[in-house]
Amino acid sequence: MSVRIKRILLDALKPRETSVIDLSKALCSVDGVDECGIVVVDVDVKTETVKLTIRGHNVDYDAISKIMEEQALSVKGVDEIDVEKVKPPPKLPPK
């Protein structure tokens, strides 16, 4: 049995030069992601603390992490996550 991620809320630190618009577009381009929301919760001289909410039918956390690394973001923690079981297709009776 496997599970898939439907929603994940990440606490991250990003450089101020990294645009939240470009970041959200890059994250939303990942297969399985349907929506991405970013809220800036704290601003420092060189960095911003952001909360990222990523929703989809099958969020690929590894792909999300790769994009965040490419954009110089550092994940401080996973604050929330919603997962669901992947139900196997029903077995058809033999003919």
Return mean pLDDT, the chain.
Answer: 94
pLDDT of residue 90 exceeding 90: no
What's the rounded Cα separation, in Å, for the pair 58 and 3? Answer: 9
pLDDT of residue 12 exceeding 90: yes
Give the CATH number of the domain where residue 6 resides.
Answer: 3.30.70.1340
Residue 95 lies in a domain: no
Residue 49 lies in a domain: yes
Residue 29 lies in a domain: yes
pLDDT-derived band at 72, boundaries 50, 70, 90: very high
Residue 93 lies in a domain: no
pLDDT of residue 17 exceeding 90: yes
What's the rounded Cα separation, in Å, for the pair 49 and 76? Answer: 9
pTM of the predicted model, to two decimals?
Answer: 0.84
